[in-house]
Chain A
């Protein structure tokens, strides 16, 4: 096994044994092979640098590279955006460890030597983020390689397998050229993704939101610190931003839009389809710190005379948001709010039991102007999971769920 630091600065000799130059950079060409060191850059002082292709390498050892061609066969270097530069793009930079779900800084790369018909190919196997890499970076060139190897053998290693490494490239064009796909990030839990994003710089956060699919972006944004969310959304292309907000729960969308500049939020609302925009607009009228500002206008309500089976059948037939399904709200014959039934009671009820018999006592609801403190108290006192919001004419207009309460309480801390 070799390390990138042992190769950077190594002397390169051609097939005749003549000194050609020193390795100044290693390139990976992800579009071709995701882990192969495809090119080495040889610096030659005042002469133009040369490029060594992977099949030009006869042997490698720490500090020494032997080529199987003559110097004449090597090409001059021309910068290429599709090449991932180990020194410039990887070493000392932050990457996402999608396995450990963390942001880490790269100290070194571990390379495996693979012999293929007479040449040596180098494959990146792991990224070193621990003390071993740090010691190597510090001592490389100052102490003999054998001594460095002896020291690092005693140190605990912290390695991340190359498959789990996710690079963060703010430039969208370069992302395409480097074949960087967001799949690894999309597989993370949105809350983890949000945590990771909080560790990154603004440009990198924007890059992540711009590259993952809309549902993932929406969920991650909803989990993110409110100030970061506004910073990101204001930088996004409006069409994309509207697409993401559309995927969010209406109450979360309203919270987000309320934090934006008025012009921006108006523009985004115009970009959104009519029905969703309507819902969000309605929510934006309420002060953030009231029940109206907390509620979600999408909730499940049924007539109070319906039986358990009818309700279950109805819910099955609808595309109901599962997060809103803790509680089923009831309305009477005149569409007035008349109660709430917990899902657990619904589960245990007999098939033909009517909703009225199942509803929770006492009858609890809040007007949209109710202050958040009042809402918290009700949730605490009655151990609620969900609370109906009812307007002046007794019509249910939304529901507050316990996750809204928890995130508010955390934010107020």
Chain B
């Protein structure tokens, strides 16, 4: 082929390309709107599967096998219902949750809520660094190397990147959660049984065809406790602040809101799908072989090695590392953001250091304190993880009540307040979660052995 033929061919491709572009203009624009809006929901739900979460899920699978799986569907629902309210408030009012609390409930209330948010989130950051430390220990890296390194990576990533690029990185990181899917496949579970247990076994046992495959759990203290723990790690107070702020930051208006709702829905479901695979993975291996007592997520990863092979174990640990790092980069940032907005300090990573000093100091301090405490020799990593969940449990009811009060204000939300049906569901969900978290907090404070999964009846 000679040169003119090549260039003619190129030219024809170019014009064809232009024609296609012309024709797909509408679709492309719509897709662009969707992609511009998507993100916060996915990120917020996935960060939820953090170090503490992965530990709880592994423990649930190891102790009770498939019999806890049925709780995932109602939990997906609860997660979606509570997050959707916040994203809707963000889209309609154009204000963050902390701004709304400030404007509607005054300075003093806001100050105490923010102080609680700071403490609780600091606990969570500690737990994330504990996750980094224990995941890297599996790969033979000392925590004195891994934790400072992680803190520096997170600090640089967030402060040196633009907001949009950081979000893209975060979205890409969501893919790493698929490591758990592979891990679960390598564990060779009985998929039919696992899927069947997504329906409540207590109901399923009355269907003759399904009965032989179903294990009905005995409902006792430790079973309820693990259910409470699952809920407690899945729905965290900081998510609501983060999501609403992110929706506002993305300038989602009432018109683009439909996309955001899908984003939140997809996020809630994808989060729970990952949880499903984690539980299935440990249920098929640890539970099946009687290894029902684990102390942290890293131990679960190590226990997988003889049962499901080296790769399953490595991927599990990798997933843990990713989740901890991911959460450690989002939590301090969102905390600094929320607090500064509420109390009227300049904030945002698009600001220079000199413009938003308190914001940057808060952000840095959370990383330094969070990582630093983990480095103390003999830091009780597991206890920290459990206590951070307890702190979440204390704060969550407060946040949910604020959310429900605000979302039903007609002067703020106009036509988009909760409908009566939605309100019923939302209050029921919130009350159920409040009860379950109170159970969890009670157990963690007064029966810490069981909250750690070291109940006396188990090996």
Does A associate with B in a complex? yes
* Best-buried of A201, A204, A228 by chain B (most CB within 10 Å): A201
Contact B251 A138 (CB under 8 A): no
Within the complex, which residue of B22, B93, B103, B255 is in contact with A92, where a contact is CB–CB below 8 Å?
B103
Which A192-211 residues have a C-beta within 8 angstroms of B?
A: 200-205
In the assembled complex, A154 has its CB within 8 A of some CB on chain B:
no
A55 within 8 A of B: no
Shortest C-beta distance, B85 to chain A (Å), equals 17
Whole-angstrom distance between the alpha carbons of A202 and B103 in the complex? 16
B94 near A369 (CB under 8 angstroms)? no
B102 within 8 A of A: yes
CB contact between A107 and one of B25, B107, B253 (< 8 Å): that residue: B107
Task: For A104, give the chain B residue with the smallest CB separation.
Answer: B344
On chain B, the residues within 8 Å of A138 by CB distance are: 107-108, 111
B94 and A200 within 8 A (CB) = yes
A112-131 contacts to B (CB < 8 Å): 129
Set A129, A201, A231, A287: member contacting B95, Cβ < 8 A = A201
9 sample A-B contacts, Cβ–Cβ < 8 Å, listed by A number: A105-B102, A138-B108, A200-B94, A201-B94, A227-B251, A228-B251, A231-B253, A234-B255, A413-B164
Over the window 83-112 of chain B, the binary record of Cβ atoms lying under 8 Å from chain A Cβ atoms (1 yes, 0 no) is 000000000111100000011001110110
Per-residue contact bits, chain B 384-403, to A (CB 8 Å; 1 contact, 0 not): 00000000000000000000
In the complex the two chains form, is A129's CB within 8 Å of B251's CB? no
Residue of A nearest to B346 (CB): A102
| Residue of A105, A204, A225 contacting most chain B CB atoms (<10 Å) | A105
Contact of A91 among B18, B106, B254, B255 (CB under 8 A): B106
A86-117 residues with Cβ-Cβ distance < 8 A to B are: 91-93, 104-105, 107
Residues of A within 8 A of B93 (CB): 201-203
Is the CB of B343 closer than 8 A to any CB of chain A? yes
B30 at interface by CB-CB < 8 Å = no
Which residues, 1 to 57 on B, are CB-close (under 8 Å) to A? 18, 21-22, 25, 36
User: Which range holds the interface residue count of chain B?
Assistant: 20 to 34
- Give 9 nearest A-B pairs by CB, closest first: A201-B94, A105-B344, A137-B107, A231-B253, A202-B94, A227-B251, A201-B95, A92-B102, A92-B103
- Min CB distance A183 to B, Å, is 25
Q: Does A134 contact B (CB under 8 A)?
A: yes
Q: Select from chain A the residue with minimum beta-carbon distance to B342.
A: A105
User: How many residues of chain A are within 8 Å of chain B by beta carbon?
Assistant: 24
CB contacts (< 8 Å) of A205 on chain B: these are 94
Near A by CB (< 8 A), chain B positions 366-410 give none
A369 in contact with B18 given A107-B344, A202-B94, A287-B25 (CB within 8 Å)? yes
A234 to B102, CA, bound (A): 29
CA distance A178 to B36 in the complex (A): 39
Structural contact, B108 and A134, CB atoms closer than 8 A: no
Q: A91-B107, A137-B107, A202-B253 are in contact. Are A129 and B344 (CB under 8 A)?
A: yes
Smallest Cβ distance from B66 to chain A, in angstroms?
Answer: 46
B248 CB to closest chain A CB, in angstroms?
8
What chain A residues lie within 8 Å of B111 (beta carbons)? 134, 137-138
Q: Which B residues touch A202, using CB under 8 A?
A: 92-94, 253-254
Q: Complex Cα distance A207/B170, Å?
A: 36
Report the minimum CB–CB distance from B44 to chain A (whole Å): 21
Least CB distance from A132 to B in Å reads 12
Query: For residue A413, which residues in chain B have a CB less than 8 angstroms away from its CB?
Result: 164
Contacts of A225 in B (CB 8 A): 251
Residues of A within 8 A of B (CB): 91-93, 104-105, 107, 129, 134, 137-138, 200-205, 225, 227-228, 231, 234, 287, 369, 413
With A and B bound together, what is the CA distance between A129 and B102 in angstroms? 14
Cα–Cα distance between A93 and B106 once the two chains are bound (Å): 9
Bound: A234/B36 CA distance, A = 20
Contacts of B343 in A (CB 8 A): 134
CB distance from B291 to the nearest CB of A (A): 52
A155 CB → nearest B CB, Å:
13
A231 touches B255 (CB 8 A): yes
Q: Which residues of B contact A105 (CB under 8 A)?
A: 102, 344
Taken together as a complex, chains A and B put the C-alpha atoms of A204 and B256 apart, in Å, by: 19
Q: List, in ascending order, chain B residues with CB within 8 A of A228's CB.
A: 251, 253
With both beta carbons as reference points, the residue of chain A lying nearest to B14 in the complex is identified as A371
Chain A residues with CB under 8 Å of B164's CB are 413
Cβ distance B346 to chain A, nearest Cβ, rounded Å = 8
CA separation between A69 and B25, bound complex, in Å? 73
Contact indicator B107/A92 (Cβ below 8 Å): yes
- Expressed in whole angstroms, the Cα–Cα distance for A227 and B259 within the complex equals 14
Complex Cα spacing A107 to B18, Å: 56
CA distance A287 to B26 in the complex (A): 11
Q: A104-B344, A201-B94, A287-B21 in contact; A137/B108 too (CB < 8 A)?
A: yes
0/1 string, B162-197, CB within 8 A of A gives 1:
001000000000000000000000000000000000
Are B107 and A134 in touch, CB under 8 angstroms? yes
In the complex, what's the smallest C-beta–C-beta distance from B348 to chain A, in angstroms?
A: 10
| A134-B344 in contact (CB<8A) | yes
For B248, give the chain A residue with the smallest CB separation: A201
Q: How far is the CB of A373 from chain B (nearest CB, A)?
A: 12
Residues of B contacting A203 in the complex (Cβ-Cβ under 8 angstroms): 93-94
Taking the nearest CB of chain B, how far is it from the CB of A308, in angstroms? 41
Q: A134-B343, A138-B108, A203-B94 are in contact. List 8 more A-B contacts (CB 8 A).
A: A134-B111, A200-B94, A201-B95, A227-B36, A227-B251, A228-B253, A369-B18, A413-B164
Residue numbers in B under 8 Å from A107 (CB-CB): 107, 344
Q: How far is the CA of A369 from the CA of B15 in the complex (A)?
A: 10
